[in-house]
Amino acid sequence: MLTDQHLWTAPRAHHRLAGRVVVPGSKSQTNRALVLAALGDGPSILDGVLTSRDSLLMSAGLQRLGADIQSVGPSSVRVVPRLARPAGPIECGLAGTVMRFLPVVAALVPGSTQFVGDEPASRRPIGPVLNGLRQLGVEVDSDQLPFSLRAPDRLGGPEVTIDSAASSQFISALLLAGARFPRGIDLRHDGASVPSAPHIAMTCAMLADRGVTVVSDEPCHWVVRPGPIHAFDDAIEPDLTNAAVFLAAALVVGGSVTVPAWPADSIQPGAQFVGIADKMGARISRTDDSMTITAQGWQELRPIDVDLHEASELTPVVAVVASVAFGRSRIRGVAHIRGHETDRLAALAHELANLGVEIQQTDDGLDITGQGADKPHGAKFRCYADHRMAHAGALLGLVIDGIELDDIACASKTMPQFPQMWADLVQEN
């Protein structure tokens, strides 16, 4: 935790909002596109690429594995694919996509590769991916960061069975590189339901754009035939999960917030926030190129009972909105977020209760009895090195005096400019 002089006081909104926020590119799409470009059969140009800690770690890791990635514009990169054994360890930070996707890429390079990360990264689940690699003939010396893997001269397969109940990224990691395995991959999930299934659909759609077909003719089973991953110039959508915190600002304060360049038909799970906002009392306006949410503020919000199993990254923002609505809300289907950057259910329950919100953890989510924004009081709000917790604290600060975040810098994981973007939104008239 940072010392008091590093506390960030969340700005309070003293008027209805009338903001327009340009949201950076999707982290999920950026990091998948980088991996696929690095495994492609020729150079690719990626536009709208997110510049954040997670995406920079992904780029750096792929470059260590041989890819040439060069900036060709403010948010554009040119990727020239090549695979080579890295001379040093690959740094994962706290990024789930990096620690789960890159070991599979490294398995394509015979020899040893080391992976390291932030101290909390050792608590993030990664074992199923490494178990899948073992089934392909890779030697791995641990089931958590840090670890080393030794890839054989030729991978085995194609049959692999893993338990991906803790994260859909385990499935995506193996699918992204599956076409480059000598025999492809015949992948099965054996366990409880896979969370965030839209992220697997995103992976399959991006593979299809590059000429790779993923056959899934029964639940929990995916088959990728061996073959090339074609070079593909791609445009990254705005990150709709990051957009959710700005749209939620209109819900709690009142007024309207517009996000331009909203995709017409997105498979990003973050798009589900629009339906949640509608159920909680907002008015939704869609034009050809933007999404606007208009609301009357926390006094008019309705409670909600929602299953966020497919869009669990929205949990912190939805929990905050529910905490200042009147009535009992329930968030279900998100037990797996106990293994995210932090135990998000425990963190939300502790920090919101510390502000005076009536909240309890359940087996798979949160029960929240909101009593408006007048009852909660200001206090220090711990972020747990988790960007989504930072978003939650900033959102509370719009309507509650004295919310002080201990680590606004962790928002750089997906939005390095978040503090300034947030201040600009609050100050707009």
pLDDT one-digit tens code per residue, 132-156: 999 999 999 999 999 999 999 999 9
* Overall average pLDDT of the 41-54 stretch: 97
Q: How many CB atoms lie within 10 A of CB 318?
A: 28
Q: Does 134 appear as a known binding residue?
A: no
Confidence of residue 291 (pLDDT cuts 50, 70, 90): very high
390 close to 408: Cβ distance less than 8 angstroms: yes
In one letter, which amino acid is 165? Answer: A
In one letter, which amino acid is 214? Answer: V
Q: Does 193 appear as a known binding residue?
A: no
Tokens coding 144: 């958590």
Q: Does 91 appear as a known binding residue?
A: no
Q: Does 164 appear as a known binding residue?
A: no
- Residues with Cβ < 8 Å from 23, sequence gap 6 or more? 238, 239, 240, 242, 243, 246, 259, 261
Tens of pLDDT, residues 198-256:
999 999 999 999 999 999 999 999 999 999 999 999 999 999 999 999 999 999 999 99
Tokens coding 409: 């810098």
21 close to 415: Cβ distance less than 8 angstroms: no
Which contiguous run of DSSP H or E holds residue 33?
A: helix 27-38
* Overall average pLDDT of the 43-64 stretch: 97
Cis preceding-peptide flag for 86 (omega within 30 of 0): no
Q: Does 27 appear as a known binding residue?
A: yes
Which contiguous run of DSSP H or E holds residue 82?
A: none
Q: Does 344 appear as a known binding residue?
A: yes
Q: Does 338 appear as a known binding residue?
A: no
Q: What is the largest CA-CA distance in the chain?
A: 64
Instruction: Return the closest-CA partner of residue 291 out of 268, 309, 307.
Output: 268
Q: Is the pLDDT of residue 1 over 90?
A: no
| CA pseudo-torsion sign 166, 411, 260, 25 | negative
In DSSP terms, 80 is beta-bridged to: 68
Exposure on the CB side of residue 114, measured as CA atoms within 13 A: 6
Confidence of residue 2 (pLDDT cuts 50, 70, 90): very low
Q: Which residues are catalytic?
A: 313
Q: Does 123 appear as a known binding residue?
A: no
* Overall average pLDDT of the 331-347 stretch: 96
Count of positions (residues) in the chain: 429
Confidence of residue 4 (pLDDT cuts 50, 70, 90): low
Confidence of residue 429 (pLDDT cuts 50, 70, 90): low
Instruction: Give the distance from CA 263 to its chain's centroid.
Output: 18
Instruction: Give the distance from CA 60 to its chain's centroid.
Output: 19
Q: Does 329 appear as a known binding residue?
A: no
Q: Does 32 appear as a known binding residue?
A: yes
Would you call 142 helix, strand, or coil by DSSP? coil
The pLDDT of residue 308: 98
Q: Does 82 appear as a known binding residue?
A: no
77 close to 49: Cβ distance less than 8 angstroms: yes
Q: Is the pLDDT of residue 3 over 90?
A: no
